[in-house]
Amino acid sequence: MKRAWLGAVALALVSGCGPSSPPSSPPSRAPEPTRTNPPPPSEPREIDLDDVSPPDAESTAAVQRMLQRVARARGLPIKRTVPGKVLDREAMLRRIRETVEEDTPKDALVAQGELLAALDVVPAGYDFVAGTFALLGGRVAGFYDPEDGAMYLADDLGEEEAEETLAHELAHALADQTFPLAPMVEYAPGAGDRLSAVHAVIEGDAVSAMLDVTLGSAFQMTEEQVRFAFVASTAMSDVGQKTPRAITSSLITPYIDGFAFIQALRRRGDWRAVDEVWRSMPETTEQLLHVDKLLAREPAEVVAPPVLGALGRQGYRVLIDDVVGEQGLRILLEDIGSRAQAREGAAGWGGDRFVVAAREESGKRLFAVAFRLRMDTAADAAEVATLFERKYGKGCRERDTLGPVAWGLRGRDIAFVAGPYERDGGRPRTRGQCADAVTWLGEVWQAAPPDGEAGSARAGR
């Protein structure tokens, strides 16, 4: 499922790709590695028929039996059968890559990797796209494709893994038959935070339904147990141990936050309450993370995109103009402080906007990043600023490869700029100094002055 900002710091690339399900029992030992499901496409795609094994009577019957079980647990009607097909793992991975390349603008993928690098969230020379596909590789178990309404399973699954994958993905199939998925998750520039929230609802619904089927009730597992299962299963893999924390967190966060959200709704009104949300999805990840804010439909504050200033006059153009959101801010802060500090700091999120800009020069590409964050109160902003200072220092800091990074706090607003720097064959090299960054930061402040020192006028704060 496509989105601009993977629930957090990155990943339109894998916004529908994450572990299909946690282990279907409370973990008393380290859970087995789980698998991932690729994003459903929104445009017709051809599957090489040589890769697909024709469904036999036994596998088709197994899919239909599981569909009946999921329908009873989830309380949604079966409006049409779901064919079961078998696809080899290599073909599944090709399908993911093709889906991403077709559905997400190339510049958007490039810019997401540069955003992570500029924020010091991944190593300066890290290959974002290749690293993300490596994390997914070998972990794909199956997926439901709303394009043809079919359930695809990997050809090498064990019995238990196949059951969990079927339950999870057929929950998607049932949801799609009542609440069509494709229009909800279509890539849209600037809609990253909203799409992250929608993606989390979709995956959380499927995790909860899967646990109802495999455990008898999703309430047999706590939200913390589910979080541990996803985190541990990713950390156990060799590639997971080599992948930057923010990327693995972005991959599993929609499932963890989504499950917590769905369980909170079910405590209020079981699946009927969930169905109501499907009819009117959260607009922000803040609403996803705080059900009371969803019920109040508390909007985000509108923040103007950071200006490029002198960089714009030098030929830089914007590749991404989007929103990080509360969920994304939390993942960023988790790279600096503890999980509790990150959660508490991000909870004061009011709104934000970031841009990634680039220009071409002699066959090389230069990049620069700017970020404007507005918190609910000046105290909330000061809390986040304390963590920023821990990571980025005070005022401005020059870096050997990624250019200078400068940031500042004014009232309840934080502004941040990084770069410029160039890429030559993937290797970054600084092209700016602190004097340039401080000038750019001043232009950002001047174009959109901070919104006073007082607390927010938003509801609930």
pLDDT digit string, tens, across residues 53-84: 555 567 678 889 999 999 999 999 999 988 88
CA distance 91 to 47: 9
CA distance 281 to 184: 9
Assign 197 to helix, strand or coil.
Answer: helix
Nearest to 432 by CA among 421, 417, 444, 416: 421
**What average pLDDT does the structure give for the chain?**
83
CA distance 397 to 145: 47
Mean pLDDT of 124-146: 79
Amino acid in the structure at residue 51:
D
CA distance 36 to 262: 20
Reply yes or no on whether the pLDDT at 33 is more than 50. Answer: no
Per-residue pLDDT, 459: 43
Percent of the chain with pLDDT over 90: 57
CA distance 368 to 358: 6
Per-residue pLDDT, 426: 78
- Name the burial class of residue 225, with classes exposed (0-12), middle (13-18) and buried (19+) by CB atoms within 10 angstroms of its CB: middle
- Tell me which of 28-42, 247-261, 410-424 is least confident: 28-42
Structural contact between residues 249 and 8, judged by C-beta atoms closer than 8 angstroms: yes
Per-residue pLDDT, 88: 82
Nearest to 302 by CA among 429, 456, 162: 456
Assign 183 to helix, strand or coil.
Answer: helix
β-pair type (84-87, 150-154): parallel
Scan for tokens 């009542």, then name that residue. 178
